[in-house]
Structure 1
């Protein structure tokens, strides 16, 4: 067994690759499979690869927060060398000069993610600000990760917990009690929510859904708690203590169950809602994020069974690049049709959409393998 709690965790790349797979092409494979072979399990899987219309949750709603959670888990490991070289015990004890360097690095990363988010949303089409969506998935990752990092660098664990719960409770209170003009307080609809009102009031450009944006200004606040939850897991896994790795993983799993139950209880007054990134959503998905991580960590890093996950590692090690490429910057469908289209036409007609979708995944993995072998990674 490997008991690695330092350095790069293969399980993190694999988990990152697992959630990114569904975005880059996996969803299309499953949708096509459900049409070709409409058995209950495939139909259910296909139904889980759509966002919930408003309240409620599907697996697809979990992808984004799990990715952000993983970014949080990585933070204590990425700063470990700096902490060791500075001769201090924790990130909050780092010298001011060292922290200043880290802040600048974090600002650069966040700025790059914001700009890449603009590009994915069509900034380079030059259609004018009114037609350009400025809020983005990459932008939220950058901002939530940045503010979680600021908290991690300046507060001990107890105060980080206060920030975590304070953000969730504060967001709940504001959303429920601050009145929105023409709607009043606590109206959790697309038009009547405080989040939607703030987006319409303050967010320049085009909103994703006209009256609100799922990656808008105010709902980015609880996303900081999602990233912080990952920071807590990374810290607990890395820090030296009397608990064995097995006990730590068990405690993580128990914490995950508590969070899921808390999310379900909170759902009665503050519905689980990915669009608003509600506090109940943070708890519920946060619990599943921990369970996903524990599963991947146990199988890959603890037991050493990692060969099966190599395709996921290919995706996870270049996740931002494949996300940007899959969001329209690269026509993988055209390339896959050029390479495999001739063969696919000899398969049964009902199965051709499935093999066409699968061929896109193959082309994407070939590209990622080429980049991986040459150690070409998009570092942000």
Structure 2
């Protein structure tokens, strides 16, 4: 997604002029967990599980904690348990990673579009034409890359190809959010957001599904799942439903719009940087409370991307951004976050590399095999993934220094 962000801090040391360092760091922090972080913590938790004879729940994939663990062990197991998706209703940290990325993309888009329109001056029509052309190109490329990640190039037949994808959802949600932003005033954009979330709730609650009725929010009986089975080409990720399906893309547009609103707020000169961080914090808390209330009628559910899920993840995204923004851009503590910045500025590249282009686990075993064999056997997998992280950060640092970035 667009990565051109204006400088908001005199202490910003990012060599790429015009970037909000905290946003790059947050994007990298978000990516870290799915490209290597989860492997490290799952590996440590697995070793602890074996040492203490703990049991892993077959359905949730979470390790059941008991009193035999010390404090540090409980922390590692607790983090590992947060790095798996919820089975259906509910929420873990791992459920935040995808919507947080879309939220960040929304923030970035607002900066990019605003800068282009501002530079265009009286030539607004030409600037908008260029934006639309770029939007269409980026959307198509991301959809195709998403299919590549799903191994579409192996081509096992039309029926066995999964066309829906993570990158496809990012592309479509950001595309439609951009169209709403470019063609509506702020007030009308808010109306659109409310309409998307309330409309999705109404459809999911009141439109009957053949054989199930209305408001059945199960993998088989939900309207979103039925639409996917009816209209989505190829195979579905969960056979009867797809977490990146068609109808559930509607509320995902709202996730991108929350990011765009946040981008507009951060660009405003009405408040000081400290005040912005505080207001982001308060807005995040209010969104989380709204989500918890809405959860009583429309459960927080990632796979259906429910409206309450949009509010809940939007609230946590705001809290994380307020924290990163305050520490990095307001207080100026930046050195600690640079590895995340390296990853955040090449997020699509590392995602593609992990999902099929590079076997990082093999590379880690090849480079660090001797050290891994010296460690206690239960911890070998955690060390393998620590090596994966070191390789990734080294390569990303080199690309960052060379200013080589995959931009779409």
CA distance in 2, matches of 1:362, 1:54: 34
Whether contact under 8 Å (2:277, 2:323) holds in the other structure is: no
CA distance in 2, matches of 1:99, 1:350: 57
Whether contact under 8 Å (1:190, 1:212) holds in the other structure is: yes
1:28 alignment counterpart: 39
Whether contact under 8 Å (1:3, 1:302) holds in the other structure is: no
The 1:2–1:98 alpha-carbon spacing in structure 2 relative to 1, beyond 3 Å, is: closer
How high is the TM-score relative to the length of structure 1?
0.95
1:86 alignment counterpart: 120
1:280 alignment counterpart: 308
**How far did 1:4 drift?**
8.2
**How far did 1:164 drift?**
0.8
Equivalences for residues 74-223 of structure 1 within 5 A: 74-87=108-121, 95-223=124-252
Q: Secondary structure at the match of 2:298?
A: coil
CA distance in 2, matches of 1:212, 1:50: 19
Q: Secondary structure at the match of 1:253?
A: helix
Moved more, 279-288 or 339-348: 339-348
The 1:356–1:65 alpha-carbon spacing in structure 2 relative to 1, beyond 3 Å, is: same
CA distance in 2, matches of 1:22, 1:248: 27
**How far did 1:247 drift?**
2.0
1:73 alignment counterpart: 107
Whether contact under 8 Å (2:90, 2:301) holds in the other structure is: yes
CA distance in 1, matches of 2:106, 2:363: 35
Uncovered stretches (5+) of structure 2, i.e. residues with no partner: 1-7, 50-72
Q: Which residue among 324, 347, 350 is the counterpart of 1:319?
A: 347
CA distance in 2, matches of 1:126, 1:187: 35
Whether contact under 8 Å (2:100, 2:314) holds in the other structure is: yes
CA distance in 2, matches of 1:4, 1:188: 49
1:302 alignment counterpart: 330
Moved more, 269-278 or 148-157: 148-157
Deviations 1:255-303 (A, max 9, x none): 1111100100110110000000000000011000001111111111111
Deviations 1:224-275 (A, max 9, x none): 000000000100110232x222222222211111110010011011000000
1:50 alignment counterpart: 84
CA distance in 1, matches of 2:188, 2:101: 24
Q: Which residue among 313, 321, 346 is the counterpart of 1:293?
A: 321
Whether contact under 8 Å (1:7, 1:77) holds in the other structure is: no
CA distance in 2, matches of 1:138, 1:97: 28
How high is the TM-score relative to the length of structure 2?
0.89
Paired residue total: 374
